[in-house]
């Protein structure tokens, strides 16, 4: 009972939710143990069994593990992408077609690589990380991760722990890469982890981060598209990763954004002058 009492709000009797949770977790643990294969990544199992709500299946345990290790997922996904390398003939391009909401929707039950893809798999904004293997001409097909291009094994794992020698033909992405992708396209959702990584200090001023602090790309994404887009693909992904992210206090972020907007406007003005030609300057 001592453990249960600790969970109740201070000074109050343990809530009715505690016995419910204990019963639920006992059932979830039993279900998990029953469906667990002989070989399973130990850190994932340890993580699962220590959750306030134990995930009841190996697949959910893997997803929970990466969700709680977002920065590790980011590093792993980029390392896997580096192992694949840039496909022959690929360059970073943006879609020019109709916006995503008017494109043909995938059939219900179709996988992410169908429904989430823009026309031919090209993103419409340079804010999206380039993903060659999501583009139709470079797709590697089932069993390979559409984000990093490496083989996918059981439970969306990235290594063949089971010695099957062949990827899982029903899988189209790694659990780690899906987590990393979500992080890349919405890093502000993970401000807590990023703040912790900086010891709760503003990356620009060194002052204590306020509650209103914001996530910023050190090198802004418009400049990656404008100036760096010829870099090899796995290297490009680094600009969406933790190395190019910083948490800064809001006032500092506002100043940086204003300076960037001014810089972009002057590039656009220069591009509009007769004889000038910067094809990327007007892009957004």
Q: Which residues of this chain interact with Zn ion, rule CB under 5 A?
A: 80, 145, 147-148, 174, 177
Q: Smallest distance, Å, CB 173 to Zn ion?
A: 6
Q: Which is nearer to Zn ion, 134 or 174 (CB)?
A: 174
Helices (DSSP H) in the chain: which residue ranges? 2-7, 17-35, 42-49, 58-67, 70-84, 112-115, 175-185, 191-197, 221-223, 233-237, 250-272
Output the CA angle 270-274-275, nearest 5 degrees.
90
Q: Which residue is nearest to Zn ion (CB)?
A: 145
Q: Smallest distance, Å, CB 30 to Zn ion?
A: 31
Neighbours of 37 (CB within 10 A): 10
Q: Smallest distance, Å, CB 215 to Zn ion?
A: 23
Strand, coil or helix: 215: strand
Q: Which is nearer to Zn ion, 86 or 246 (CB)?
A: 86
Q: Which is nearer to Zn ion, 174 or 264 (CB)?
A: 174
Q: Which is nearer to Zn ion, 225 or 240 (CB)?
A: 240
Q: Smallest distance, Å, CB 94 to Zn ion?
A: 22
Q: What is the spatial distance between Cα 186 and Cα 240, in angstroms, rounded to a whole number?
A: 10
């Amino acid at each position: 009972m001592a453990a249960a009492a600790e969970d109740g709000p201070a000074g109050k009797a343990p809530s009715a939710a505690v016995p419910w949770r204990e019963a639920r977790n006992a059932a979830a643990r039993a279900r998990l143990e029953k469906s667990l294969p002989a070989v399973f990544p130990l850190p994932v199992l340890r993580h699962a069994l220590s959750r306030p709500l134990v995930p009841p299946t190996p697949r959910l345990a893997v997803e929970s593990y990466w969700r709680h290790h977002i920065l590790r997922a980011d590093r792993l996904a980029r390392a896997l992408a580096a192992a694949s390398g840039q496909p022959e003939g690929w360059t970073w391009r943006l879609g020019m077609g109709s916006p995503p909401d008017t494109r043909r929707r995938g059939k219900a039950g179709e996988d992410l690589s169908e429904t989430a893809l823009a026309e031919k798999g090209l993103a419409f904004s340079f804010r999206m990380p380039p993903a060659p293997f999501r583009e139709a001409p470079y797709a590697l097909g089932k069993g390979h991760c559409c984000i990093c291009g490496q083989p996918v094994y059981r439970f969306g794992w990235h290594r063949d722990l089971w010695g099957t020698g062949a990827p899982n033909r029903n899988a189209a992405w790694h659990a780690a890469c899906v987590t990393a992708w979500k992080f890349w396209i919405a890093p502000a959702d993970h401000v807590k982890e990023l703040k912790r990584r900086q010891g709760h200090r503003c990356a620009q001023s060194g002052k204590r981060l306020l509650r209103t602090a914001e996530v910023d790309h050190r090198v802004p994404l418009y400049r990656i598209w404008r100036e760096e887009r010829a870099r090899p693909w796995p290297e490009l992904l680094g600009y969406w990763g933790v190395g190019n992210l910083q948490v800064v206090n809001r006032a500092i972020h506002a100043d940086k954004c204003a300076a960037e907007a001014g810089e972009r406007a002057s590039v656009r003005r220069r591009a509009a002058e007769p004889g000038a030609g910067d094809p990327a300057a007007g892009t957004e």
